[in-house]
A and B are shown apart, each in its own frame.
Chain A
């Protein structure tokens, strides 16, 4: 049961920025996501897509990063949505109530 390293990748086009999150998003890895995602959420007006296809675990520390990003997006009226969210990750968004603020494509 080898644990894959946490990785955040970025892909950009004229209209979109896509952030791919790989691995486990927890207290140890959240700062790494925060560092990449929050500056984009704060300043870049292109559509921000966050791909969670390879996100295997998330808890409240991950929710905290997404809520911080959402608040920054709202301040600059920028679009942001999540895509390819697995059932177990979606459940954490639903139980916490964070799903009411974020579009899950």
Chain B
């Protein structure tokens, strides 16, 4: 069973075929921490979206690199940090694009920002850090929280919840 302050780290090549391995790992960990079935599904999708970004955007074509996922088991939450060492993408631009498709016509939609939107909606907190080398995305999900609402999520909110 995971214990308080346990730290689990997965380091894999930044390739699409490793994302399912990361999903399986987080399912097991979140289940053992006592997250509900629905919360586990949310965490799986959000984490996979963060990994999709690493695989698709972190490294230039032909360049190889790693994707590192750090799981921090905390008293009331699971904190996941996804990092890479690629050419940092513009996190500000992605934040701006991260909208749902509600109210738009089929012709005008672009699914490009949906992954980031799902991450923000499905997790309780999400934070980007862009360093000199690479990007870090921190995803947090609290235990015993009601299902997330489908309204616009809070982004970069401070940790104020119980």
Chain A positions within 8 Å of B, measured between CB atoms, are 1, 3, 24, 26-28, 57, 59-61, 63-64, 67, 70-71, 74, 88, 91-92, 94-98, 100-101
Contacts and interface: CB of A to CB of B under 8 A. Distances in A.
Contact of B101 (A59, A71, A100): A100
Q: Is the interface of A mostly helix, strand, loop or mixed?
A: helix
A101 B56 CA distance: 26
B100 A96 contact: yes
24 contacts: A26-B19, A27-B48, A57-B23, A59-B49, A59-B52, A59-B115, A60-B52, A60-B115, A63-B111, A64-B111, A67-B106, A67-B109, A67-B111, A70-B106, A74-B106, A94-B150, A95-B100, A95-B121, A95-B150, A96-B114, A97-B103, A97-B104, A100-B101, A100-B102
Contacts, number: 78
B94 interface: no
Interface in B42-61: 44-45, 48-49, 51-52, 55-56
B146 interface: no
Interface string B93-131: 000000011111011010100110110011000000000
